[in-house]
Amino acid sequence: MISKAEIKTIASYKQAKHRNEEEVYIVEGVKMVDELLISNQEIEILCATKEYNNPDQVRAKKVLEIKEDDLKRISSLSTPNQVLAVVKRQEAKIPIIKSKIVLVLDNIKDPGNLGTIIRIADWFGIEDIICSENTVDLYNPKTIQSTMGSIFRVNVTYYNLSQFLSLVPKGHPIYGTIVEGGKNIYKEALTKEAIIIIGSESHGISSAIRDLITHPITIPSFSIAQSAESLNASIATSIIVSEFKRREV
Amino acid sequence: MISKAEIKTIASYKQAKHRNEEEVYIVEGVKMVDELLISNQEIEILCATKEYNNPDQVRAKKVLEIKEDDLKRISSLSTPNQVLAVVKRQEAKIPIIKSKIVLVLDNIKDPGNLGTIIRIADWFGIEDIICSENTVDLYNPKTIQSTMGSIFRVNVTYYNLSQFLSLVPKGHPIYGTIVEGGKNIYKEALTKEAIIIIGSESHGISSAIRDLITHPITIPSFSIAQSAESLNASIATSIIVSEFKRREV
């Protein structure tokens, strides 16, 4: 059974400061933890109620039985669901580019958007995401939970974007959505290898890197009133990535 | 200046019960209220701090000055932003179909998803959305705020979906995503007029209406591990709608 000291420690990981110090993050709920157990992530502690019965849980370094009430204490969910895991971070400090299409996120602020973008990347076979250093915390519980397990399959690296983009070989296409003067993504020929920059929810792509875009694009609006102001960052990402990938079909 | 009784009444609209009784909903923040003021919505009360200075606010039936502290009391936002409006509902009781493409939402449960889908519809010029009766409340503050103003331009009607779909003329295409046996949306010819059913986040399209789909479709996954389980409902909507509309370009 979990001890009071362990409850206190794990509950402290709700705060970014403590998560960062220990280089861990929290994964919660049956579905997410089932996915975690078949991933290659290193599981420090798994706290499970009697109801949770995935036999793979033995692969965690430490398995602790926990009561419903104590699970509530350590959980960030409004309705905790049987199991919570403390996982060791395995992030690369330098961006490694494996996939043909790489997403670059510039100052995404909403954890739900970041999580959803990771899920989109996973669906479309994009293995690498580079985030600006001011992008929301990957290890925010809301980000983790909204990836629905895709966090275990996509490499996310935080890095200085100007520096990262300056390392891109000359001629390698860098796409970015801009409001004025971008080419219609539905009509434009798209390259098979590409870096795609996604701007922040409120400010778009920052001026520091806007000039590095070699292929400015735009998603045209069909709004009758021409009034819908913008698309949510994760929605724009899905439309753009879908356009790149469908041409491979 | 706003009275104590008025504060109490407006604060009570945080609860669905009171909003429903009075047939009102709440719109908050500078950006949303600016959009509201240029819409055709009937504004019962507008509560604004001294900072809010949109001259159109006079078109509200009643304008009340409010102090920051009192705004916090009536607001559902974590950081209230200058202004809050009480708006009269204008919903149709019977679905009216004006646009060529109509979205049908089957049991969408997350207010953020519903709001985002309304925003997508607005962007792509879709004027009509029909929601199943068990879809999340349109007037939930989270739904309203996540539409980013698109709520004022899209008609959303709650209706029994079996009944609605039975009214569709024979031969009119009804699309729906199904996991097994749907046709690849990227390869499929898509009709210009269509009803598109979007299933719930966890259960997809319910069995009661699944048989009414005339054009089963699917969004193929490009995931290397074939592991990404599904796309978020609003993400799937954006990809499908984008596919329909890009062919008009």
CB B39 within 8 A of CB B85: no
Whether B238 is covered by a domain: the verdict is yes
Stretch B161-178: mean pLDDT, rounded? 93
Single pTM value for the model: 0.92
Stretch A228-245: mean pLDDT, rounded? 92
Q: Which residues of B touch A (CB under 8 A)?
A: 112, 116, 119-120, 122-125, 127, 148-150, 153, 184, 186-187, 219-225, 227-232, 234-235, 238-239, 242-243, 245-246, 248-249
Stretch B1-22: mean pLDDT, rounded? 96
Note whether A165 and A212 are same-domain residues: yes
Domain of A59, in residue numbers: 4-88
pLDDT class of B96 with cuts at 50, 70, 90: confident
* Token pair listed for B242: 């984008």
Of B53, B88, B123, the one marking the end of a domain is: B88
**Helix, coil or strand: residue A144:** helix
Note whether A111 and A78 are same-domain residues: no
CB contact under 8 A, B221 and A119: no
Q: In three state form, how does the secondary structure of A80-95 look?
A: CCCEEEEEECCCCCCC
Stretch B218-233: mean pLDDT, rounded? 81
Whether A8 is covered by a domain: the verdict is yes
CB contact under 8 A, A119 and B225: no
Give pLDDT, residue A228. 58
CB A176 within 8 A of CB A210: yes
Of A88, A112, A136, the one marking the end of a domain is: A88
Whether A95 is covered by a domain: the verdict is no
Whether B94 is covered by a domain: the verdict is no
Residues from chain B contacting residue A118 (CB–CB below 8 Å): none
Whether B242 is covered by a domain: the verdict is yes
Query: Distance (Å, rounded) from C-alpha A161 to C-alpha A213?
Result: 12
Q: In angstroms, what separates the C-alpha of A5 from chain B's closest C-alpha?
A: 32
Query: Distance (Å, rounded) from C-alpha A26 to C-alpha A33?
Result: 10
pLDDT class of B9 with cuts at 50, 70, 90: very high
Q: What is the CATH number of the domain that holds B83?
A: 3.30.1330.30
CB contact under 8 A, B227 and A122: yes
ipTM: 0.90
Which residue type is seen at B226? Answer: Q
Q: Is the pLDDT of residue B68 over 90?
A: yes
Of the candidate ranges A58-72, A87-101, A134-148, B36-50, the one whose mean pLDDT is the lowest: A87-101
Of B88, B122, B157, the one marking the end of a domain is: B88
DSSP state of A24: E
**Tokens 């299409």, residue?**
A101
Note whether A106 and A177 are same-domain residues: yes
Note whether A79 and A131 are same-domain residues: no
Query: Distance (Å, rounded) from C-alpha A156 to C-alpha A16?
Result: 17
Give pLDDT, residue A80. 94
Note whether B125 and B55 are same-domain residues: no
Note whether A120 and A43 are same-domain residues: no
**Tokens 């706003």, residue?**
B2
CB contact under 8 A, B223 and A186: no
Note whether A111 and A72 are same-domain residues: no
Kindly state the percentage of chain B with pLDDT values over 70: 98
Q: What is the CATH number of the domain that holds A194?
A: 3.40.1280.10
Note whether A48 and A10 are same-domain residues: yes
Q: In angstroms, what separates the C-alpha of A1 from chain B's closest C-alpha?
A: 33
* Token pair listed for A56: 């793979």
List the B83-88 sheet strands across, edge first: B24-28, B83-88, B43-48, B62-65
Which residue type is seen at B206? Answer: S
**Helix, coil or strand: residue A158:** strand
Kindly state the percentage of chain A with pLDDT values over 70: 98
Query: Distance (Å, rounded) from C-alpha B25 to C-alpha B45?
Result: 11
CB contact under 8 A, B149 and A225: no
Residues from chain B contacting residue A123 (CB–CB below 8 Å): 221-223, 228, 231
Whether B93 is covered by a domain: the verdict is no
Note whether B45 and B166 are same-domain residues: no
Note whether B44 and B135 are same-domain residues: no
Note whether B111 and B224 are same-domain residues: yes
Number of domains in chain A: 2
Give pLDDT, residue B228. 58
Enclosing H/E stretch for A22: helix A16-22
Q: In angstroms, what separates the C-alpha of B38 from chain A's closest C-alpha?
A: 11
Stretch B8-36: mean pLDDT, rounded? 96
Whether A166 is covered by a domain: the verdict is yes
List the B128-131 sheet strands across, edge first: B155-158, B128-131, B101-105, B194-198, B174-177, B215-218, B183-184
Whether A94 is covered by a domain: the verdict is no
Note whether B61 and B159 are same-domain residues: no
pLDDT tens-digit map of B110-141: 999 999 999 999 999 999 999 999 999 999 99
Q: In angstroms, what separates the C-alpha of A222 from chain B's closest C-alpha?
A: 4
**Helix, coil or strand: residue B8:** helix
Which CA distances in Å does A87 have to A54, A136, A147, A174, B217?
17, 19, 15, 34, 38
CB A76 within 8 A of CB A28: yes
